[in-house]
Each structure stands twice: as structure tokens, then as C-alpha cells.
């Protein structure tokens, strides 16, 4: 039997806006959108009337590090924790002396140090908190980047969809081969264990943290197995300097994390030219940030149909530089979505806040919602299941309650929905979680 969810407005991300209609869901799937006056109540097991409200599809977040959600909140004061803390302080002093504590490299080293000092239980709790905050923000699908597989079981138990990208690092031909063997074993094993809500990809961290050999291995692997790849690209000045000169403060960070110094395959290449030389550019690639991309780089990315995880708030926070929305719309139209990174460098995990930060009227409500829903779903190749409220897709949707004088356009002024449903099951009720971990 079917369930009906009434609202003044329904925006299904199919280009339409429906007024005074109801979303019909059956067995967790979208069955139809019908006029409220045409509802056949005798055919329904449940009717929920949200009144003056807007129903949208659940949001899709293209770049997350949910494991850092409670970073710095550790209360573990035992001897082991104290020794770990002392070790990281000494290590930072040894490798990073002379680097400004406000620099991207030092802040990233601090993040890694704090994370290293957390216990396994604290890391799991931090990750779960990130998932919960994502759900409260109306996000029902995430692209999660992590080197660890310990979060896999947590994701399998959670209702939201997850594209788990395994982060990779290497500093030589030998370490590239070893890293690939390790990740391939992980992927092969997890493919047999994953739920229907979990998907797997690879994430070579950046051009200055991954040896050229690993890039080439991964490209062959991704093409053969039809796997998505994501990479941080043109994110920082340090990355640009490394490509131009063959060295920068990135080398110190690599040494801090246990990797040896290595040089780019050629000097004075742009980040995009570097990937082009490696044969990485394709529609299977999702880049993040792009803060230092030049016009000629953007043209190449557009030509190769590369997608973008757009993270404007954290870009300004860490680098005081970002791609503006007009540029993104010019070169990544219908090929970008938003990402929040983590609570370590962002004040919240709200995609609506990310959108509000850059949208100065370039996108109207219907267009803007597409970049939070169906377009990132297409980028993750999940659009046959999520991203819009169309026939036979999962009934993942958000409900935004409106004030008396508001219409559906008020959604863009909100930070989070009042209710969140996944497969027609309410997981957030009036701003409170409604799930069992």
C-alpha cells in the first residue's frame, strides 16, 4: 500500500514546480506526484499533510571528510594519549619549523596530528557525528574521502547513500605498487560486503602527494572496472609552487606524514597539464577545489568533461581564494555539485549554506536545487536511484516548513530542513534525529 505526503510546493528536480500536490511513495520508492484533490485516500495506508511547506529531493554532498567531525574534542588523558600528543608536537617542531602557523600546510599538519591522537572509538564516534550532522542538514547521499576502511561497517548500517573514495598517497614507484596492492585488496573485499547504499571509488590525494606511477596504475584500474576517481586539484599556492619549481612546503608536509620527497614528472606544468600528461583527464574524474585554475586549464577540463566538487567556504577559509560561481557555471555547467569538506574547517555541514555563500542571484531556486540534487547524483552515477523525485527512484526527500508569507523560493534562505526522509522513512523529525545507530 502507498503513502502520501502533501505540501503546498513540491520541487522534484525535473524542471517543474508542483503546487498543492502530494508525493506518493510505495515500498520506499516514488510512485507519482498527484494533485491533492485527486488523492484516493482508500488506496493509502498513510497520509501526512505538511501544509505550507516545500518538498525537495534529498541533497547530495560531493566532498566530505566526516571522520574529522569531532576533531579536537578528545577527552582521553591516559598515558598513551599524552605520549601521542608529545610525539606530534616534537614532530611538528622538527619538520615544520619556520612555517607560519596560519599557513595551509601547518593547519593541515595540525589536523593530521589531532586525528592521530584520537582513539579508534573516538574516530568512530566522530565519523558517526558527521553522518548525523549531514542528515540533519538534509544530505541523504555523501561522497566520503578516507584512507581507512574502519568506517565501512558504520556506513553499511546507516540509511544514507555513500560513495566511499579511498584516499591514496605514494612517493615512489615501489610505494605506488604497494599502495595499489593494498587498496585493491580492500576494494575486492569490501565489494563482497557492501550494502546497496554503499559505492566505492579511489581518491589519489593530490598531484604533489601521489607519485606519477600510482596515477598511471589507478587510471588503468578505473577504466577497466568503471570506477570513479576524485582528486584535490589546484587547491593551494604550495601545490602550484611544487609544480612550477619541483619543490615547496608540500615537501615538508610529505616528510611529516612519513613520505619521501619526490619531484613532478616535469617542471612548470599547470595542475591540469600535469594530469593531462598522465592521461588522467576523463568524465570519470571529479576534481575538488580548483582555486588556482587558469582559463586555459578550465577549457581543458571542460573539453574532457571533468566534474567539480565545489567547496567555496573552506577554500576561502584555508586559502583565501576560490573559484567564483560565474566561472564555475561557465566551465562546469551541469557538471558540478557542492562539498563541505568537514567540521574541522567549516562551521557546519549544510549544503544550503555553501550555496548561499556564493549564489548572488545567478541561480534561481529550481536551478540551484538541481546542483544540490540531480546533478551531483549524475556525477556519482547514482541518478537512476536518487537525485530527483521521479518514478521508481528512492523516496529520499526533505521537507521545509514555510512561514505564512513565504513561497517555495524561501528554501534558499534556509539552513536545514525540518524533516528528512530516506526511502519514505523519516530519519529527521522537526530538526531531531529519528534513527537508531
Residues 69-113: pLDDT tens digits? Answer: 998 776 667 777 778 788 787 888 888 888 888 899 999 999 999
CATH 3.20.20.140 maps onto the chain at 60-379
CATH pick for 2-58+387-433 out of 3.40.190.10, 3.40.50.720, 1.10.8.100, 2.30.40.10? 2.30.40.10
Amino acid 74: pLDDT: 67
289-293 mean pLDDT: 97
Distance in angstroms (rounded) separating the CA atoms of residues 229 and 352: 25
- 181-224 pLDDT, tens per residue? 999 998 888 888 777 888 999 999 999 999 999 999 999 999 99
282-294 mean pLDDT: 96
CATH 2.30.40.10 maps onto the chain at 2-58+387-433
The reported pTM is 0.95
Amino acid 437: pLDDT: 47
Q: Which residue did the predictor score with more confidence, 252 or 92?
A: 252
343-358 mean pLDDT: 97
Residue 68's nearest CA partner among 340, 275, 428, 301 is: 340
Fold exhibited by the domain 60-379:
TIM Barrel (3.20.20)
pLDDT confidence band for 348 (50 / 70 / 90): very high
313-320 mean pLDDT: 96
- 150-173 pLDDT, tens per residue? 888 888 788 899 999 999 999 999
Residue 332 near residue 302, CB atoms below 8 Å: yes
Amino acid at each position: 500500500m502507498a503513502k502520501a505526503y502533501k505540501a503546498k510546493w513540491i520541487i522534484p528536480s525535473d524542471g517543474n514546480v508542483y503546487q498543492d500536490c502530494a508525493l506518493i511513495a510505495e515500498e520506499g520508492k516514488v510512485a507519482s506526484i498527484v494533485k491533492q484533490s485527486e488523492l484516493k485516500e482508500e488506496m493509502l495506508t498513510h497520509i501526512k499533510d505538511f501544509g505550507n511547506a516545500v518538498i525537495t529531493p534529498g541533497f547530495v554532498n560531493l566532498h566530505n571528510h566526516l571522520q574529522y567531525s569531532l576533531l579536537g574534542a578528545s577527552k582521553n588523558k591516559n598515558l598513551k594519549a599524552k605520549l601521542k600528543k608529545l610525539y606530534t608536537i616534537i614532530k611538528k617542531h622538527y619538520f615544520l619549523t619556520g612555517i607560519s602557523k596560519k599557513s595551509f600546510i601547518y593547519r593541515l599538519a595540525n589536523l593530521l596530528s589531532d586525528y592521530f591522537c584520537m582513539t579508534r572509538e573516538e574516530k568512530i564516534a566522530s565519523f558517526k557525528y558527521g553522518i548525523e550532522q549531514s542528515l540533519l542538514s538534509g544530505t541523504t547521499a555523501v561522497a566520503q574521502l578516507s584512507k581507512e576502511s574502519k568506517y565501512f561497517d558504520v556506513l553499511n548500517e546507516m540509511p544514507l547513500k555513500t560513495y566511499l573514495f579511498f584516499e591514496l598517497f605514494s612517493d615512489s614507484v615501489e610505494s605506488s605498487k604497494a599502495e595499489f596492492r593494498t587498496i585493491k585488496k580492500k576494494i575486492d573485499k569490501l565489494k563482497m560486503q557492501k550494502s546497496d547504499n554503499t559505492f566505492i571509488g579511489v581518491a589519489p590525494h593530490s598531484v604533489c602527494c601521489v607519485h606519477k606511477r600510482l596515477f598511471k596504475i589507478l587510471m588503468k584500474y578505473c577504466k577497466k572496472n568503471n570506477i570513479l576517481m576524485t582528486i584535490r586539484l589546484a587547491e593551494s599556492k604550495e601545490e602550484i609552487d611544487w609544480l612550477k619549481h619541483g619543490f615547496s612546503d608540500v615537501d615538508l608536509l610529505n616528510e611529516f606524514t612519513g613520505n619521501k620527497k619526490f619531484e613532478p614528472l616535469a617542471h612548470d606544468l599547470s595542475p591540469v597539464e600535469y594530469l593531462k600528461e598522465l592521461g588522467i583527464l576523463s568524465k570519470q574524474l571529479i576534481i575538488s577545489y580548483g582555486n588556482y585554475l587558469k582559463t586555459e586549464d578550465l577549457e581543458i577540463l571542460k573539453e574532457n568533461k571533468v566534474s567539480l566538487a565545489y567547496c567555496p567556504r573552506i577554500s576561502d577559509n584555508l586559502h583565501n581564494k576560490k573559484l567564483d560561481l560565474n566561472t564555475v557555471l561557465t566551465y562546469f555547467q551541469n557538471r558540478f555539485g557542492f562539498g563541505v569538506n568537514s567540521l574541522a574547517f567549516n562551521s557546519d555541514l549544510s549544503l544550503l549554506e555553501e550555496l548561499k555563500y556564493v549564489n548572488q542571484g545567478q541561480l534561481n531556486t529550481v536551478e540551484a536545487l538541481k546542483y544540490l540534487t540531480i546533478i551531483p547524483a549524475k556525477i556519482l552515477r547514482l541518478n537512476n536511484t536518487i537525485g530527483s523525485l521521479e518514478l521508481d527512484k528512492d523516496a529520499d526527500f526533505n521537507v521545509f516548513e514555510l512561514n505564512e508569507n513565504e513561497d517555495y523560493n524561501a528554501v534558499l534562505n534556509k539552513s536545514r530542513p525540518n524533516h528528512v526522509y530516506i526511502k519514505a522513512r523519516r530519519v529527521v523529525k522537526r530538526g531531531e534525529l529519528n534513527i537508531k545507530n
